[in-house]
Chains A and B, each alone.
Chain A
């Protein structure tokens, strides 16, 4: 009967219509409406089921204590950005590392790590790094492909390194502890950052044409300026980020509490630096709300979609498919990974986590990696793998998300060809990190285990 195929049809029409370029939330809602009508006609659902959708949306989007962390992290990131710490930070790092081969590129990676820890928003980090660092690097004679590769890769660190908004949302969808997820993400994130730097350093040493170091020694005045820049640009945000992350990782505050206090801290920082007027604050708040609304509006659509998908028996369909195919746990994991990777070409993490996770999360419970990963920890391991995977996918030509942002912000200064060539080594580094976490789950699971057990 047609009724049995409703979940498949739903998914197919989503795949098709999402390319219409209409807002994803609207596409999700429209499809839900269409299939609700169809389901009523075919007797697959009854009218009383529909008002329940509102309850779902209310409890998922509004009365959800975990999600309160999301707007607060966004406010914190926006205010930090407005306070102009990023410029000071880069200027300081540039002077500090002027004698080191590839010093500026290393500075960008460090900054990407700091930005990642503070905002976790890809488009913003990449655009900001491009604007601040690209002209400087090109002017100093860096090869365009090294410059762009460094920027795109460093700017995407944010989805993995806590406090990542994606991890908050994943934690909620998979109903696991966000604090524990943050902890699981910390070492893999730092591992990536270190691997990036190792690559940059070795390239700069062996092929000095790609990253020339400055020969000029520092004068005493410049030295004083440097210390001043570092103290002003590096210490305050570093202290704030350390405070926010530290209190979550130490189990002293929930992510929501830490995020709220972090937002206040960023506000104080911005005010102290004299960079924020009242109207500027209003702007920053509205801008934050726009970001938050964008994330949660997809939530509203996705809730409707996955509610109907389940009502139509989509979940059983997916599970029975996995069951009947008699695939091993590793094959299923591999298939999910390939799927997430491919989706990452076209979609941002928001759509992927909000649409794909609710549909495929039940499969996770079936997976048995006995001897490799403890069954309680599979969810955490999986979440980190997805995050790493997405990050790779954002960087992969020709459709990498981060690459588009970079090209869009850089304009004519660099060619798409340079960007594509430049990112390849970083994608390889990503793959190494992914394989490391696949092969040695302890990289992700050790820290939460030590902290919680």
Chain B
């Protein structure tokens, strides 16, 4: 079960990593665009289109990975006080009743949305921008499917935890600590998920603070 959970998480993590580097590409494109426009009068609609394409693709690739890292904001005022098993049960409920149905339906419409763009040969609205709008539109269903995968992965881990008890690394994280030194990933010793305070404490032991706690 855990092996399957890991396998499901693999493409999600890969996408998250690719998305991270896309942010650097985005910064470079903006830099090139700005220098061109301000100094050489060469600004183009293509570059401007490319900027939001990169932004959109990066964050759609990032949604699933953020869930694996348990980075999505929760209001854990009451949750903090619950036992680990209750938390795991809640997560299972949330994934099965809320998350997967909602995302699956959205992904279904998103596929239609991308296919429609492909069939109609939709291009840039501005004219002179990037053609082939269907490419970025297909990132929408892709991103949503990645979140579904991450949800399935966490679901399996929670179920495993509920069945076998404490002896797991926890649904949110099971990677080695050495690779990511100062990240939320270091929740591996904790279980199904952590509260705000626990997060901050775990960061305290790990190293310098991150910008990923809002």
Q: Which residues of A contact B (CB under 8 A)?
A: 18-27, 29-30, 32-33, 50-51, 53-55, 57-58, 61-65, 67-68, 71-72, 74-75, 77-78, 81-82, 119, 121-124, 127-128, 131, 252-253, 256-257, 259-261, 263-264, 267, 281-283, 285-298, 300, 304, 346-348, 350-351, 399, 404-405, 407-409, 411
Contact = CB atoms under 8 A, between A and B. Distances in A.
B94 to A, nearest CB: 4
Given A54-B140, A72-B26, A290-B184, A67 B55 contact: yes
B154 to A, nearest CB: 11
B140 A293 contact: no
A27 B106 CA distance: 15
Contacts of B180: 283
Smallest CB-CB A-B distances: 5 pairs: A260-B30, A21-B79, A30-B98, A408-B200, A62-B56
A159 B73 CA distance: 17
A109 B189 CA distance: 35
Given A68-B55, A124-B212, A411-B201, A22 B27 contact: no
B3 interface: no
B118 to A, nearest CB: 14
A415 to B, nearest CB: 14
B169 interface: no
Contacts of A68: 26, 30, 51-52, 55
Nearest to B27: A263
A24 B33 contact: no
Given A23-B67, A404-B196, A296 B59 contact: yes
Given A78-B211, A263-B27, 7 more contacts: A22-B91, A30-B98, A78-B210, A288-B20, A293-B65, A297-B66, A298-B72
A405 to B, nearest CB: 6
Contact of A260 (B17, B31, B184, B196): B31
Interface in B44-79: 48, 51-52, 55-56, 58-63, 65-67, 69, 71-79
Contact of A287 (B38, B99, B101, B210): B210
Given A63-B56, A71-B55, A24 B75 contact: yes
Contact of A71 (B59, B67, B78, B101): B59
B17 to A, nearest CB: 6
Nearest to B203: A127
Contacts of B163: none
Query: Chain A's interface: helix, strand, loop or mixed, by majority?
Result: helix
A24 B214 CA distance: 14
B34 A257 contact: yes
From B75, B87, B198, B201, name the one whose CB has the most chain A CB atoms within 10 angstroms. Answer: B75
Contacts of A409: 200-201, 203-204, 209
A75 B212 CA distance: 10
Given A22-B90, A124-B212, A298-B73, A288 B23 contact: yes
A355 B27 CA distance: 29
A351 B204 contact: no
Given A50-B109, A123-B214, A81 B72 contact: no
A72 B33 CA distance: 14
12 contacts: A21-B74, A55-B113, A65-B51, A81-B210, A286-B17, A286-B65, A287-B20, A287-B212, A289-B20, A289-B66, A300-B106, A350-B73
B199 interface: yes
A251 B120 CA distance: 39
Given A260-B26, A346-B75, A293 B87 contact: no
Interface in B158-214: 180-184, 196-201, 203-204, 208-214
Nearest to B13: A286
Interface in B117-151: 136-137, 139-140, 147
A54 B106 contact: yes
Contacts of A287: 20, 183, 210-212
B10 interface: no
A286 B34 contact: no
A287 B81 CA distance: 28
Nearest to B68: A290
B2 interface: no
Contacts of A72: 23, 26-27, 30
Contact of B16 (A63, A264, A289, A291): A289
A133 to B, nearest CB: 12
A453 to B, nearest CB: 24
A127 B197 CA distance: 11
A279 B109 CA distance: 37
Contact of B212 (A25, A30, A291): A291
Nearest to A52: B109
A50 B107 CA distance: 12
Contacts of B24: 75, 267, 281, 285
Contacts of B91: 22
A290 B213 contact: no
Nearest to B81: A21
A269 to B, nearest CB: 13
A27 B213 contact: no
A124 B23 contact: no
Contacts of A259: 30
A122 B212 CA distance: 10
A128 B112 CA distance: 45
